[in-house]
Chain A
């Protein structure tokens, strides 16, 4: 059986990611609006974000003109060639750009020349994961695949940050109390840049690279999920409550909603290192998942 051509499904995945606000993000913004004072600028701004998202979905127009960096996470059973999947994804990215679901956003790092179709070295970024156990690899063939796409704009990426503890400026030691200080500092520094209310993906531990990766992976989680690790779950809840007392508010206009969510992951580190990485996602938190099973594709955002 030849490998199925999923190019059109990937194009649809991109269209949805760029133009449909995920349901959990929409619900969080609506709840936040209800929590702000009647007649306040904060409330008005939050409601306008929902109006914008509704118009974007209706017209298949990008929610924000900065359609950002594209990161795909593809999980598949045995039998799929990753090289072929990557070709299909690249073709879909170019097609989605032609159809204005994406702004041409890939520029040569040194010359600044825009490739015009979002393709380039390392663009888009595709991670592959196995969906089969060691023993069953041979039995499952081309039947299931899921692909999650995350779009992250430049304004939000620019305020993402990595701390190395101890940090004397913050008085942050090598424990969770220190991590807490980093989180508060990062959000305070992001004001006026990444469009608030944001969501934080946080990676504790690892090395410089894996710490950032852990932080970004947290952004694949739904806002309404609960961390399976009870300690991290408690830290997440506390962080949201504390951050929302900073008073920065939607767009930095002041208010009770500075963040929509905080998601924390941790990984083992070497004794000498203690990194805390914070991936800031703006309110235009764009992600979508495509599931392909027995010949049909379904989408969830």
Chain B
């Protein structure tokens, strides 16, 4: 188990490789579709301040407002693939050190991780209650009015947020590897067998 504290410097992230189980602590920011589009179309200095050295969490949380403060109630990862058109640009422009989501991302993001020194961390989908518990404090929120609760950029302080490195800064990609191996196995299973009439 490795501990990562945010903001992280490049060497800490370069030290991560595919398969590492990590616990992340510090300040990170949630962002999904509307936020990614916004970050690419604008050069937001406020966003830059929090994102530099930090991580982006693909998450549309359920947030409760209690006595004037926000609390994360249920906050598992959402599918990352949707942000593939934007992520490489966001990583480069804002100096992001990591992306947390589920399902992995594509070739452009992998390349940005490599050149910028960042990593993709996979959180467990559906682990919504436990992951919400690792959010100690909501430090702020950007674009709440404009984007609504699930799409806003929530600035959260997490402690020991659990994840697994599935794409690293050296080109390692667990998703591609598992996909390749399972495709080979699928190919074997689909090989015509006696009694299989085919088309």
Pairwise interchain contact A245-B185, C-beta atoms closer than 8 A: yes
A114 shortest CB reach to chain B, Å: 8
A80 at interface by CB-CB < 8 Å: no
Report the bound CA distance from A259 to B193 in whole Å.
Answer: 23
Pairwise interchain contact A192-B81, C-beta atoms closer than 8 A: yes
Pairwise interchain contact A55-B125, C-beta atoms closer than 8 A: no
In the complex, which residues of chain A have a beta carbon less than 8 angstroms from the beta carbon of B81? 192-193
A55 shortest CB reach to chain B, Å: 5
Given A171-B190, A253-B166, is A49 in contact with B129 using a C-beta cutoff of 8 Å?
no
Report the bound CA distance from A258 to B82 in whole Å.
Answer: 23
B34 shortest CB reach to chain A, Å: 12
Q: Which single member of A51, A168, A195, A245 contacts B125 (CB below 8 Å)?
A: A195
The interface centre, meaning the residue of A103, A166, A249 with most chain B CB atoms within 10 A of its CB, is: A103
A251 at interface by CB-CB < 8 Å: yes
Given A65-B74, A245-B189, is A56 in contact with B198 using a C-beta cutoff of 8 Å?
no
B176 shortest CB reach to chain A, Å: 10
Given A52-B126, A64-B128, A173-B198, is A254 in contact with B174 using a C-beta cutoff of 8 Å?
yes
Pairwise interchain contact A64-B199, C-beta atoms closer than 8 A: no
B27 at interface by CB-CB < 8 Å: no
Q: Which single member of B64, B103, B198 contacts A192 (CB below 8 Å)?
A: B103
- One digit per residue, 1 when the CB lies within 8 angstroms of any chain A CB and 0 when it does not, for chain B 107-137 equals 0000000000000001011111110110000
The interface stretch among A40-48, A85-93, A214-222 is A40-48
B30 shortest CB reach to chain A, Å: 12
Label chain A's interface by main secondary structure. loop
Given A166-B199, A245-B189, A284-B126, is A192 in contact with B183 using a C-beta cutoff of 8 Å?
no
The interface stretch among A70-78, A117-125, A180-188, A227-235 is A180-188
A247 shortest CB reach to chain B, Å: 5
Pairwise interchain contact B197-A55, C-beta atoms closer than 8 A: no
In the complex, which residues of chain A have a beta carbon less than 8 angstroms from the beta carbon of B164? 41, 253
Interface residues of B in 58-106 (CB under 8 A from A): 60-62, 64, 73-76, 78-79, 81, 102-104
A242 at interface by CB-CB < 8 Å: yes
Tier of interface size on chain B: 35 or more
Pairwise interchain contact A168-B199, C-beta atoms closer than 8 A: yes
In the complex, which residues of chain B have a beta carbon less than 8 angstroms from the beta carbon of A55? 129-130, 133
Write the chain A residue with the least CB distance to B20. A41
Interface size on A, residues (CB 8 A): 51
Pairwise interchain contact A185-B199, C-beta atoms closer than 8 A: no
Report the bound CA distance from A283 to B73 in whole Å.
Answer: 20
A199 shortest CB reach to chain B, Å: 13
Pairwise interchain contact A45-B124, C-beta atoms closer than 8 A: yes
A170 at interface by CB-CB < 8 Å: yes
Pairwise interchain contact B130-A48, C-beta atoms closer than 8 A: yes
Pairwise interchain contact A248-B182, C-beta atoms closer than 8 A: yes
Write the chain A residue with the least CB distance to B133. A55
A148 shortest CB reach to chain B, Å: 21
Interface residues of B in 142-179 (CB under 8 A from A): 162, 164, 166, 174-175, 178-179
In the complex, which residues of chain B have a beta carbon less than 8 angstroms from the beta carbon of A242? 189
B26 at interface by CB-CB < 8 Å: no
Write the chain B residue with the least CB distance to A181. B190
Given A171-B199, A192-B104, is A63 in contact with B128 using a C-beta cutoff of 8 Å?
yes
In the complex, which residues of chain A have a beta carbon less than 8 angstroms from the beta carbon of B178? 191, 247-249, 252-254
Could you write out 28 A-B pairs with CB less than 8 Å apart?
Answer: A45-B124, A52-B127, A55-B129, A55-B133, A62-B62, A65-B75, A155-B78, A167-B199, A172-B199, A173-B198, A177-B197, A178-B199, A184-B189, A184-B190, A188-B182, A188-B183, A188-B186, A192-B104, A195-B126, A242-B189, A246-B182, A247-B178, A251-B102, A253-B166, A253-B178, A254-B174, A254-B181, A284-B126
**A: which residues have CB within 8 A of B?**
41, 44-45, 48-49, 51-52, 55-56, 59, 61-66, 100, 103, 153, 155, 166-168, 170-173, 175, 177-178, 181, 184-185, 188, 191-193, 195, 242, 245-249, 251-254, 282-284
